[in-house]
Structure 1
Amino acid sequence: MAGAGKVPTGFAAETYISEASFRQAHRSIEGNNGQSKKRKREKKGDSSIMSGAGAYKGPWARFEEERPDAALDDEFGDDEEIEIVYEEDDIEENPTAAPKKLAGTDYADTEAEGETSEFVGSQEYDYQGRTYMHVPTDLNIKLTGDRGDVKNFHPKKLIHTFKYHTKSITQTRFFPDSGHLILSASADSKIAIWDAYHNRELLRTYSGHKKSVNDIDFAPSGTQFISASYDRFMKLWDTETGKCLNKFTTGKTPHVVRINPSSPHEFLAGMSDKKILQYDTRSGELVQEYDHHLGPVNTITFCDEDRRFVTTSDDKSLRAWEYGIPVPIKFIAEADMFAMVRSSPHPSGKYMAFQSSDNQIVVYSSTDRFRQNRKKSYRGHNVAGYAPDVAISPDGQFVSSGDSGGYVCFWDWKTCKMYHKIKASDSPVLAVQWHPRETSKLITGDLDGVLKYWD
């Protein structure tokens, strides 16, 4: 260590040198038998000259022997540009590359692995050879045909608890129209399908994603469903056999997937790189790209008989699109808007409800003007740090939502007053879905991976 202080040519700063570097430098100065080797320095130069021939070098003047072209100095003068090589910097020939390590935020390259599915129910076929896809007809409730004007009521009691998942439930879906099956997706990378009637048992599991599955959506027929995961893959599955029919990826994370109800062979995916992608499941090709958002896309909601759709994003805006045309027909970004993280269409087809990050549910019209209905705001629940689902009852009378305190909250659609709340879990309730046929049945999924069925 050299002490700091004034020297005639300026100021010398304190520095540190390692033992190894010091010994190496020391040995290079020491000659044989401990006699020091005299080394001739260049001329220090004139302190009044800043650059060029005879410029001031002072203590930075190099040793003559370091310079291979010292002999040429007399001919060309002192102002040659010469590469400095410090003795400590022994440059290694052909160094071995350091082992490649992933930084904490780096993703491992997630290649798709084999998809597997297992039937775990008690009986795969009934006496007529039909699988669980067959809508049961031995119940005292009609699960097919016209729903009629059935009035909904808020549920009051827990009738069943489904346990299989080991991590948070991210989304649940009832089988389209009949609701006799429940599909659940979880952060444990698994998807499961359950029987909503009879034994209420786990029927089949679908494995193949490597990371948390963040969204699922049934095709209108229910024979297929699509899943999106943080492993950056979207996969199309056969509901009955569990076979993976197709895989889609762009290398970015899909946040939301929706199959077009009017064109079941096409689906939209809202991505982490601000794009909405439209895929054809028959060819597996990307057929359209909607790229106007400024942040990750959170929700996709079809409206106007599926001719249009509305998207929201972390950029705190709402955009409406004509299906297949990559230019927004409406853009809404108010100063008081927050990011809207979940959505649900109203059964009337005139409105959409959005879970806003400022602890309220807001409503927008799904007709031409797409304006916010300022009279409708549903408050009283807490969504801080989570993105609980929002669901509207099939008759359009109740708005329901999960809550970070473990509640399921119910509001009256017309008055916006909180009607009722159920303590559904000790952990945040993230998934809520109404049964499409029953008057008061509802499924909830919480952060602990437990599904609960209410009536």
Structure 2
Amino acid sequence: MAEEKVEGNVIAQLVTSDGESTGPQLDLPPDLTHEQLEALLNELLTNEEKVPYAFFVNDLELTGATELSSLIQDVSVESVLKIVYHPQALFRVRPVARCSSTMKGHTEAVLSVQFSPDGRHLASGSGDTTVRLWNLNTEGPDKTCQGHKNHVLVVSFSPDGKQLVSGSMDKDVRLWCPKTGKARGLLKGHREWITSLAWEPAHLAYPSRRVASASRDTTIKVWDTATNKCEFTLSGHAKAVSCVKWSGEGLIFSSSRDTMIHVWETGEGKLIRTLKGHGHWVNTMALSTEHALRTGPYDHNSREPPEDPEEAKQIARARYDELRGGRPERMVSGSDDFTMFLWEPNEDKKHLARMTGHVQLINQVQFSPNGQWIVSASFDKSVKLWDGATGKFITSFFGHIAPVYQVAWSADSRLILSGSKDSTLKIWEVRTRKLKMDLPGHEDEVYSVDWSPNGWRVCSGSKDRCLKIWRN
């Protein structure tokens, strides 16, 4: 039997995602719309410029097409209704809809792609042993960086955009100049493949200088890129290290095939705590502040940061603090045991939530740029969306017909990009929980994807040896 709509006004309380009340209790009409509630909140907060917000009642979003009454049919009108609100990005990324370029040059599979923090440069690593830099104005080849002797597994721009680092199956880490493509340094010391790279955040050190590399040799090394020397080696894992992250609080997190996640301080490289819970290899980690850590002093407008390093550092700090919002940094991990864990690793070794639902190994996890959502990619062919604060399951996106390798977010946290073994990319919309765009075009498996921090482009790298640029 269908529920009858609420009649009469509803007593409601606006609350932040942290549960803090905003303003007094309100007597709201049941036909209240999203637009009206947004105007009311802006007035309560005395915002000089209108800020867009998302509103949720019992995890259901109040959208432009719904009224408040449609979300509260089973709520007692005598109780106070909690309406949770989240600020939304002040800009909107348009979904990519077409392939604007197919960029050829690599002679083997493209294994990694990454845009620079300002979104104006693009680097790729390939099985052909080269790192390539691409001209995004012409959407064609720019520079070829040669030196590695085996597959290049990972590339990473520094948060200030001045350096590019690459890691290879030849056990070496190499530094490059993004503008000239010339080699800047060779970092030797690992005994096995390089699996992951992480730069020290810009708000902690500017210009960027230190980078951490993880390896299958069970260690993590922290390098000084000014001297090309290893500052210290983090030893403690029993098996290959799969992922490394450098937190905004100055800690390093490392995940391993030994099922453990270690937390290290970065002064002398001492082990602080170990996070236990996974029952199999830990493949992937992501931080709730990762977008701010990656982009440093750059915002979505890609403006050049001040020349004064201290001013640029302060801008990066302000962006990081705004994203963190006074809360501890959160980290999510994904494993071969089909589960994910949500942690506050700076604070405690106990997990906040154990997240289940995938039925095959989890290949990648990513927080949305605003830290509100988590997305996961799995070999079970699905992409899943989770609450970034609680770890609660939100929805599953089905459409791929083969394992999903990688996911990426649009800078406004509204759209999700996924790349799969089935040779396609797909764009999913968070608001509607539906497929927004299907992007076929590659002739083989899509190994790597990235969405530029300024929102202008998507890049994908494939086993077909091509990179594709996608635009709206």
TM-score, structure 1 length as denominator?
A: 0.58
1:284 to 230, 255, 276: 230
The amino acid across from 2:394 in the alignment is K
Using the alignment, how far apart are the partners of 1:449 and 1:388 within structure 2? 16
SS in 1 for 2:447: strand
Correspondences of 1:103-118 after superposition (within 5 Å): none
- Say whether residues 1:449 and 2:465 are aligned partners: yes
Change (3 A) 1:287 1:232: closer
The one-letter amino acid of 1:361's match is V
Matched residues in 1 for 2:398 and 2:413: separation? 18
The one-character-per-residue Cα deviations of 1:321-374 (angstroms, maximum 9, x if unpaired) are 77789967568475855322123330112333221121112344544x5x2x31
Q: Which residue of 2 aligns with 1:379?
A: 398
- 2:110 matches 1:169: yes
Distance 2:127 2:219 in 1: 23
Q: CA deviation at 1:164?
A: 0.5
1:436 CA displacement: 2.5
1:303 aligns with 2:288: yes
Q: Which moved more, 1:408-417 or 1:306-315?
A: 306-315
Residue 176 of structure 1 deviates from its aligned partner by 0.9
1:81-230 alignment, distance < 5 Å: 149-177=90-118, 179-197=119-137, 199-230=138-169
Q: 1:376 aligns to what SS in structure 2? A: strand
Matches of 1:322 and 1:388, distance apart in 2:
26
Q: CA offset at residue 281 of structure 1?
A: 2.7
Task: State the aligned residue count.
Answer: 300
The verdict on how the C-alpha distance between 1:336 and 1:296 changes in structure 2, with shifts beyond 3 A counting, is: closer
| Separation (CA, whole Å) in 2 of partners of 1:451 and 1:165 | 9
Distance 2:412 2:345 in 1: 27
Report which of the two has the higher share of strand: 2
Counterparts in 2 of 1:317 and 1:256: CA distance versus 1, 3 Å: farther
| 1:154, distance to aligned residue in structure 2 (A) | 2.2
Contact 1:270 1:299 in 2 (8 A): no
Give me the whole-angstrom Cα distance separating, in 2, the residues matched to 1:164 and 1:174.
18
Quick check: 1:393 aligned with 2:339?
no
The separation in 2 between residues aligned to 1:272 and 1:379, in whole angstroms, is 33
Cross-structure match for 1:412: 429
C-alpha distance in 1 between matches for 2:400 and 2:149: 33
Aligned-partner Cα distance in 2 for 1:249–1:321: 31
Q: 1:267 to 1:235 in 2, by over 3 A?
A: same
Contact kept in structure 2, 1:357 and 1:383, CA below 8 Å: yes
Identity %: 22
Using the alignment, how far apart are the partners of 1:392 and 1:191 within structure 2? Answer: 24
DSSP 3-state at the match of 2:426:
strand
Give the match's secondary structure for 1:261. coil
Output the CA distance in 1 between the equivalents of 2:113 and 2:131. 10
Q: Say whether the 8 Å CA contact 1:270–1:298 is kept in structure 2.
A: no
1:254 to 2:194 alignment? yes
* Bigger Rg over Cα: 1
Go from structure 1 to structure 2 and tell me whether the alpha carbon gap of 1:334 and 1:407 turns closer, same or farther (over 3 Å shift).
closer
**Residues 360 and 392 of structure 1: is their aligned pair in 2 closer, same or farther, counting only changes over 3 Å?**
same
Q: Do the aligned partners of 1:238 and 1:245 also contact (CA within 8 Å) in 2?
A: no
Q: Give the Cα separation in 2 of the matches to 1:323 and 1:393.
A: 26
- Contact persistence 1:271–1:296 (CA under 8 A): no
Judged with a 3 Å threshold, the aligned counterparts in structure 2 of structure 1 residues 269 and 339 are, in CA distance, closer, same or farther, namely: farther
Distance 2:230 2:343 in 1: 23
1:389 partner SS: strand
Unaligned runs of 5+ in 2: 1-88, 238-255, 260-279, 294-328
Once the 2 structures are TM-superposed, how far is the Cα of residue 379 of structure 1 from its aligned partner?
Answer: 1.8
| Counterpart contact for 2:339–2:357, Cα < 8 Å | no
Whole-angstrom distance in 2 between the partners of 1:395 and 1:444: 19
How big is each residue's C-alpha offset from its partner over 1:411-435, in whole Å with a ceiling of 9 and x where there is no partner?
1113321122021222122222223
Alpha-carbon separation, structure 2, partners of 1:330 and 1:249 = 36
Tell me what 2:378 maps to: 356
CA gap of 1:229–1:327, structure 2 versus 1, over 3 A, is: farther
Instruction: Quote the offset at 1:218 in angstroms.
Output: 1.0
Unaligned residue ranges in structure 1 (runs of 5+): 1-147
Evaluate the alpha carbon distance shift between residue 341 and residue 286 of structure 1 in structure 2; reply closer, same or farther with a 3 A threshold: farther
Q: Secondary structure at the match of 1:159?
A: strand
Cα distance, 1:438–1:317 mapped onto 2, change above 3 Å: closer
> Residue 135 of structure 1 corresponds to which residue in structure 2?
none
Deviation at 1:392, TM superposition (A): 1.1
- TM normalised by structure 2 equals 0.56
Partner secondary structure for residue 421 of structure 2: coil
Does 2:449 align with 1:432?
A: yes
CA distance in 1: counterparts of 2:146 and 2:409, whole angstroms: 30
The CA RMSD over aligned residues, in Å, is: 3.2
Residue aligning to 1:71: none
Q: 1:296 to 1:257 in 2, by over 3 A?
A: farther
Task: Give the conservation status (yes or no) of the 8 Å contact 1:266–1:279.
Answer: yes
